[in-house]
Amino acid sequence: MTQSILPIDQQWMRHALALAAQGKGLVEPNPMVGCVIVRDGKPLAEGFHQRFGGPHAERQALAALPADCDPAGATWYVTLEPCCHTGKTPPCSDAVIAARPKRVVIAAVDPFSEVAGRGIDQIRGAGIDVEVGVCEAEANRLNAPFIKRVRQQKPWVIAKWAMTLDGKIATYSGNSQWISGESSRRRVHEVRGQVDAIATGIGSVLADDPTLTARPPGPRTAVRIVMDDKAELPLDSKLLKTRDAAAVYAVVRGDAPQQRVDALRQAGVGLIVNESGTRTGGVDQLLNWCHDQGMSNLLLEAGAGAMASFFEADAIDEYHVYIAPKLIGGSAAPGPLGGIGLSQIAQSPQLEPLQVESIDGDLFVTTRRVSRG
């Protein structure tokens, strides 16, 4: 019979979650996981999954134990169920059992089909007390991109835009540089360096000629993807001039002019052909392609048209909005979401309460789509 959850359990688990978060951008498509080994109220060792293909958190914690320390009888705090299968590394459940803990506290069950409760059952089967669900919501939030990839076979989509206080992302003439401040732009570059892909629309490329790279580079190098129905991506664009630094792909319609399609292919652009002929179909096909490439997350930095395509496809999971103390005005100045839009307020996707941070005069607002299960 397992013991009841103790008040101190949440404290240690939150410490393990903070450790796990250090793997962001380094371990994908694996989940971020942290582990702390505690005995008599004192930590013996800790570890986290540091890189894809490297040792998992449990084995990192074991490796950090002092040479003269026997971990028998300790309590283990692990943010995700220990794996029980052999992948790039051996099963962690075996290592946990061999360490002879008195108790194992786990935040969340691993949704991956080859684990999914089996690791927990194996540890319990060895006569070890196991508690599951301590800080579960926090653990699942941390690994939301991993969970979505496993359950829905699609990457986590973050929509980012900068806008003025009156809700404009550009002037009526298309000028948008720069709405947000330098510190806000640095934050955007940090996120770019943590994701697998960055998507934009051809309108943004033609208007701004962006590079869409992380400066300075982060732990991941994102591929750049252009939603480009007619294969209009200029061959002299900064995206193509920097394709040696990061790959470039274009989502083109099946009826795009063949001459332009061939020119992009010859220029080294990877092509994703949208045979559906619809904007939302193109989004869905892109997300399926991202999953097939092993991608966990995609950052959407686009104008009103491409942003609307993802919105209409109900494909956005998280929003990063930078609000600057500027005003533009004008009915012809675009807002962040184009398209037809919703006819009723009640149709709006349900979002979590806003999180607001001040960044050198700008407001940084984040929210997520309420979990769809």
Q: Which residues are annotated as a binding site for Zn(2+)?
A: 56, 83, 92
Concerning whether 58 is annotated as a catalytic residue, the answer is yes
Residue 362 exposed, middle or buried by CB count within 10 Å (0-12, 13-18, 19+): buried
Supply 145's token pair. 């991109």
Name the DSSP class of 238: H
From 28, 58, 81, 131, active-site residue: 58
**What are the residue ranges of helices labelled H in 40-143?**
57-64, 92-98, 118-125, 136-142
Which strands sit side by side in the sheet containing 197-201, from one edge to the other? 270-274, 248-253, 223-227, 197-201, 297-301, 156-164, 318-324, 362-368, 355-359
- Amino acid (one-letter) located at 55: P
| Integer Cα distance of 185 and 359 in angstroms | 10
Annotated binding residues for substrate? 176, 192, 212, 215, 301
| Integer Cα distance of 84 and 87 in angstroms | 9
Supply 181's token pair. 């401040």
- Amino acid (one-letter) located at 147: I
Q: Where are the beta strands (DSSP E) in 7-166?
A: 34-39, 42-48, 75-78, 103-106, 129-132, 156-164
Contacts of 317 (CB under 8 A, 6+ apart): 144, 148, 156, 157, 158, 368, 369
Annotated binding residues for NADP(+)? 162, 178, 208, 303-309
Annotated binding residues? 56, 83, 92, 162, 176, 178, 192, 208, 212, 215, 301, 303-309
Tell me the catalytic residues. Answer: 58
